[in-house]
Amino acid sequence: MKCIFLDGSSLEPDDLDIARLKASCSEFKFYNETSKTDLPARVQSADIIITNKFVIDESVINMAPRLKCIAVSATGTNNVDLEAARSRGIAVTNVQGYGSNTVAQHAMTLILALSTNLINYVQDVRSGAWARHHLFCLLNHPIQDLAGKHLVIVGSGEIGQALAKIADGFDMKVSFSASLRPETAAKAGAGSRLPLSRLLPDADVISLHCPLTEHTRNLIDAKALSTMKPSALLINTARGGLVDEQALVDALKDGQIGGAGFDVLTAEPPKNGNPLVDNILPNLIVTPHCAWGSREARQRMVDDIALSINAFIKGEKRSRVV
């Protein structure tokens, strides 16, 4: 079996042990990046392709006559044409649960930073505002306790559950919104969870941990933002596109909500600009899609890919999407 990794640099592999991954196939090629020019020659003889964000559409699949398996080094598989793979009998695997703790940790970090106005207080120290102040302390930005506050989590998978566990340690009230999947929501007695629209007006913090689908795109739009508390915080470490970004900027400027912390954008990197990057607001924190990137999480990902490839070669199904 010949295996190639098309865009390995996206994992920042320099601090990782990829020995198991290299040993998973008789021939292994690791490419930091792959251009469209390089692509045909690289995939032509590949039995297994590993991709993180490189798009494997039908045209790429047709370039690889020997292709038997596509291993996605992420949970989301929207960069792979699953129907084209299925029609060719090509297996598709993904990696799940590798970053649950680190993403939940990042979400809580954003909640803490916003609720304590951390970034603004750090800037006050760096600018000399504290040194110029006449009192021993500087309290010119509002600070709020998290204890007793209502955290609404959208998405009850591993990351959402991990965040709920952390929030419990801060004595927060935690609610999960009802499923956003139409087939689940339509079932009578689908559960005791309230729909998001019912939870938004009471939420002090909303944290998004759901996939981006046709049903969740712009889930938080201008209408939803208008129903939130003026002190509420909105956190998104899931997917860009879940929130109408311009509507969010408008809401922050107008004081409709208290603050927002985002690790994802609709287009990444934001080479052509983005409302959340172009507007420097005191109650907005944006990080560069790094929530998943702890060394431990990336190592778990690499090891999990190796396990899935070994299982595929043995004829076993593991982490299969197709």
Positions marked catalytic: 239, 268, 289
Amino acid at position 103, single letter:
V
Question: Rounded to whole angstroms, how far apart are CA atoms 195 and 182?
Answer: 12
Question: Rounded to whole angstroms, how far apart are CA atoms 248 and 242?
Answer: 11
Pairing, β 27-30 against β 233-236: unpaired
Question: Rounded to whole angstroms, how far apart are CA atoms 250 and 257?
Answer: 10
Residue identified by tokens 């197709």 is 322
- Helices 100-115, 158-169: axis angle to 10 degrees equals 40
Query: H or E element: which one contains 72?
Result: strand 69-72
Residue 30: closest CA among 44, 42, 15, 47: 42
- Helices 100-115, 118-127: axis angle to 10 degrees equals 60
- The conformation of residue 14, written as its DSSP 8-state character, comes to G
